[in-house]
Amino acid sequence: MLDEQQALEALKLFNEKIQANKAYLSELDTPIGDGDHGANMARGMSETMKAVENGSPSTLSSLFKTVAMTLMSKVGGASGPLYGSAFLAMSKAAQSSSDLSVLIEAGLEAIKKRGKATSGEKTMVDIWSAFLADLQAGTASSEHLQQVVEASKDILATKGRASYLGERSLGHIDPGTQSSAYLFESFLEVQ
């Protein structure tokens, strides 16, 4: 279960991880993308924390809606609309559930729909699916999230910018998988 206070704490932790790893995320996006994932996420999350402070949303649903709207409007790259759709779906789901696995499932479905991606295409869908399966099995851990991040190296990209590289996308961590790992680690840290 996730209450509004825990979610707020998790978003603060997520923002800290994103700001601390801004250069690393852009470095991951350089060989298989356009090198902007760190800047995109850092801008998106600092704007999100400002919006949360100004709006002081009082429910889990309204908190996630503020995150969604800010990420959609402030992030230029693909990750803005993708994370934005995920948080919007999580906001809707939070009206009737505070079970983290129900929320993540709603977010995952929205990302798949928005990005027209499925598992195994070297996108953030892979780690959202893995984290959902772990939550449902009661085995979620930061160690397993790290393994999923490492495993993204061995996947051939068939969606997003990295797919333009074909075989040359192999051997590199997917940046969106790494940023999603920071989000999920933050959720685990407040449980």
* Residue 34 in the binding site for Mg ion (CB under 5 A): yes
Side-chain-side CA neighbours of residue 50 (13 Å): 9
Name the binder of 71 from Mg ion, ligand ADP, none, CB < 5-8 A by kind. Answer: none
Judged by CB, which is closer to Mg ion: 33, or 107? 33
How far from the centroid of its chain's Cα atoms is residue 90's Cα?
12
The two structure tokens encoding residue 113: 């729909």
Q: According to CB under 6 A, which residues from 106 to 165 bind ligand ADP?
A: 111, 115-117, 123-125, 159-161
The least CB distance from residue 175 to ligand ADP, in Å, is 4
DSSP letters spanning 135-165: HHHT---HHHHHHHHHHGGGSPP-SSGGGGG
DSSP H/E element including 35: none
Q: What's the Rg (C-alpha) of the chain?
A: 15
How far apart are alpha carbons 15 and 183 in whole angstroms?
9
- Rule CB under 5 A: is residue 160 a binding residue for Mg ion? no
Q: Which stretch binds ligand ADP (CB under 6 A): 3-11, 98-106, 130-138, 171-179?
A: 171-179
Chosen residue from 3, 5, 20, 34 binding ligand ADP by CB under 6 A: 34
Q: Quick check: 38 binds ligand ADP (CB under 6 A)? A: no
State which of residues 29, 105, 134, 185 lies at the interface with ligand ADP (CB under 6 A). 29
* Residues 64 to 83 in contact with ligand ADP, rule: CB under 6 A: 77-79, 82
Does residue number 3 form part of the binding site for Mg ion (CB under 5 A)? no
Number of residues that bind ligand ADP (CB under 6 A): 24
Determine the Cα–Cα distance for residues 55 and 87; give it in Å rounded to an integer.
16
Separation in Å, CA 146 to CA 127, 131, 151, 173 = 10, 11, 9, 11
115 binds, among Mg ion, ligand ADP, none (CB under 5 to 8 A by kind): ligand ADP
Q: Helix (H, G, I), strand (E, B), or coil: what is residue 120?
A: coil
Task: Write down the least CB distance from residue 38 to ligand ADP, Å.
Answer: 9
Residues that bind Mg ion (CB under 5 A): 29, 33-34, 36-37, 77
